[in-house]
Amino acid sequence: MEIKSLSLRARAVVEGFMSGLHRSPRTGFSTEFTEYRQYSPGDDVRFLDWKVMARTDREFIKKFEDETNLRCTFLVDFSRSMEFGGDEVGVKKSDYARTFAASLAWFLTQQRDAIGLATFDRDVREFIPPRYRQDQLKTILGRLETQPAGNATDLCQSLEKLASLIGKRGMVVFVSDFLSPLDELERCLSLFTASNHDVRAVQVLHPREVDFSYEEASIFEDMESGQNMILDPGMARDSYQQKYNAHNAALDAMFSAQGIPGFRVTTADPLERVLQRFLEERPARAVVRQRRSKGRRAA
């Protein structure tokens, strides 16, 4: 992330994503984020876009303005653990998180969608309700860029407050490292899914958190508590990997049970590709609801 300005970084990511999309033979990122939707029997064929059909070999119909408006709120974790990184292996998690949120916000604004922002650590720091207006993107980018390092995380306390603040149904994009205890998180996430929000979770990790690639005995600091400990990486690696894998397996199971698409990324991953992965993902909650309803009928 050599570009210092968050606004310029976000724009560069979106332009890189769009350039790659034009070069790639792959098609079909989620029509929630486009000005088109797939043709359905009964649609007026006069609104078929023949140029898009020729390029994609699929039938797309132009959306009307009332079909394109999306409300998206970004919930971005700026707790102390998000300050990890900033070395030759990967940037700080907080910088990666803010750039991802800024890039998606930039993209959605180009689609005339409403965007909002909430930042939190152990409590909600700031809440900007989703709106579509000329200065909204500038306001959100400014707040993202100036967020200082925070305190320890209390995901559930923050989520409980945010669930009451985000009223109207929409998309909620939750960006965090999700490394805090998960005991209460499922209940708190259900406050959003029960209100029929389309919740998506982006877990941002530093590569060293994934593979624990340290060679020499070092002093490690708990980013949340501030406590220091001396560890021999060779002796601690197996235990660390077991706990890391168990934590993420539980996190994945929780997201799956809630019907929440989860994206695990590292700060070394190119943001253009992460943005494409995110936009290609269709909501999972409809599938979960359909399966549950089938189960009830079968019973």
Give the tokens for residue 201: 């979770």
CA 293 distance to own-chain centroid: 28
For 62, the enclosing helix (H) or strand (E) is strand 60-62
Residue 259 and residue 91: Cα distance in Å, rounded?
30
Strand pairing report for 218-221 and 228-231 = antiparallel
Residue range 221-239: mean pLDDT, rounded: 71
Q: Let me know how long the chain is.
A: 299
Domain annotation for the chain: domains and CATH numbers? 34-68 (no CATH), 69-295 (3.40.50.410)
Q: What is the pLDDT of residues 167-206, one digit of tens each?
A: 889 999 999 999 888 888 899 999 999 999 999 999 999 9
Distance CA 42, CA 158 (A): 45
Residues 110-122: pLDDT tens digits?
888 999 999 999 8
Which of 128-142, 212-226, 257-271 is predicted least confidently? 212-226
Distance in angstroms (rounded) separating the CA atoms of residues 247 and 178: 9
Q: Which DSSP category does 158 fall into?
A: H
Distance of alpha carbon 38 from alpha carbon 54, whole angstroms: 14
> Shortest CA distance to 193 belongs to which of 264, 291, 261?
261
d(CA 188, CA 172): 13
Do 38 and 60 touch, CB atoms closer than 8 A?
yes
Instruction: Quick: pLDDT tens for 12-68.
Output: 999 888 776 545 544 444 434 455 666 667 666 666 666 666 666 666 666 554 444
Distance CA 248, CA 253 (A): 8
Find out whether 217 and 233 touch, Cβ atoms under 8 Å. Answer: yes
**Which residues lie below 8 Å from residue 35, measured CB to CB, with a gap of 6+?**
62, 63, 68, 111
The DSSP code for 205 is: E
Say how far apart CA 65 and CA 69 lie, in whole Å: 7
